[in-house]
Amino acid sequence: MNVQLLQDVIELNQAFERVLEGLKRMEKVSFLDAGMVREDRAEVVLAQIDFNRLFSGDFYKDYERDEKWAADFQRACLAKRCDPEDDYIGVRQREEARKKKGLHAASSVLAGLGQAR
């Protein structure tokens, strides 16, 4: 294998580590959203793992545990991004579709449920 290529791979991994260290420090900055910075850090970890996996297959097994953390954290961040306004719009669109079909609105049935008690 080419020695220059291996040196480039090492330099790239060191650059990944420097970026991750910088992002860890940025989490402590008060005017930055720590959650967004952690999400960016997770994306950098996943990019590093993908590169190492493409380059050398199973050579970098110690990065596998970081991948699990990064992937779990990224899924959690995506779940948190769900906007309540989107839920309201979705319900409103379903109600409009029910009206077009000539069905009663489901929300009016549920709204009267609390008043009967």
Better-predicted residue by pLDDT, 53 or 109 = 53
Mean of pLDDT values over 49-62? 72
pLDDT at residue 50, rounded to an integer: 87
Q: Are 70 and 42 in contact (CB under 8 A)?
A: yes
Q: Are 98 and 104 in contact (CB under 8 A)?
A: yes
Q: Where are the domains of the chain?
A: 3-81, 83-117
Residue type, 43: E
The pTM of the full predicted model, rounded to 2 decimals, is: 0.50
Residue 12: how many other CB atoms lie within 10 Å: 14
With a cut of 70, say whether residue 61 has pLDDT above it: no
Mean of pLDDT values over 88-111? 72
Cα distance between residue 74 and residue 4, in whole Å = 34
Residue 55 CB burial class (10 angstroms; 0-12, 13-18, ≥19): middle
Give 117's pLDDT tier (boundaries 50, 70, 90). Answer: very low
